[in-house]
């Protein structure tokens, strides 16, 4: 069941926004896997493998946003959307904006760490 109430630092997107984040996450995952296949196919040097970080970051941000029902960008901007796409509202309480920004930074750091870990795995793969 989808939450219909804005909860600072916990929930700032509804169903339609969550669907969008799923698409972004799947796009990042698809691009990551196709990049990995391409790197393996051309026997790319180790340094080139670090380029997979960006698509992995997109995939991990999408994953964590869907999982937490919290949009990183909305949290940083002090906004939320629990309705249809494009129906963005502003957070009015400064304390809630601060809580959202902290949650956004945590989400970013988790995404960064996951993408970095996956990139290191690709970097050390023997191909």
Q: What percent of the chain has pLDDT over 70?
A: 97
Write out pLDDT tens, residues 25-68: 999 999 999 999 999 999 999 999 999 999 999 999 999 999 99
Comparing CA positions, the residue from 75, 77, 81 lying closest to residue 103 is 75
DSSP for residue 81: B
pLDDT of amino acid 120: 96
Domain membership of residue 57 (yes or no) is yes
pLDDT of amino acid 1: 41
Which domain, by its residues, includes 58?
A: 15-124
What lies within 8 Å, CB to CB, of 121 at 6+ separation is: none
- Per the structure, how many domains does the chain have? 1
Domain membership of residue 36 (yes or no) is yes
Q: What is the gyration radius of the CA atoms in the chain, in angstroms?
A: 17
Domain membership of residue 8 (yes or no) is no
Whole-structure pTM value: 0.89
């Amino acid at each position: 069941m989808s939450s219909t109430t804005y909860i600072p630092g916990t929930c700032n997107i509804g169903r339609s926004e969550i669907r969008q984040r799923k698409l972004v996450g799947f796009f990042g995952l698809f691009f990551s896997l196709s990049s990995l296949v391409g790197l393996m196919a051309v026997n790319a040097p180790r340094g080139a493998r670090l380029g997979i970080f960006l698509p992995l970051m997109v995939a991990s941000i999408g994953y964590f946003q869907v999982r937490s029902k919290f949009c990183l960008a909305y949290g940083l901007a002090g906004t939320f959307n629990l309705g249809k796409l494009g129906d963005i509202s502003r957070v009015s309480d400064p304390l809630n904006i601060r809580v959202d920004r902290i949650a956004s930074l945590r989400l970013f750091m988790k995404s960064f760490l996951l993408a970095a870990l996956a990139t290191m795995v690709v970097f050390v793969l023997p191909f």
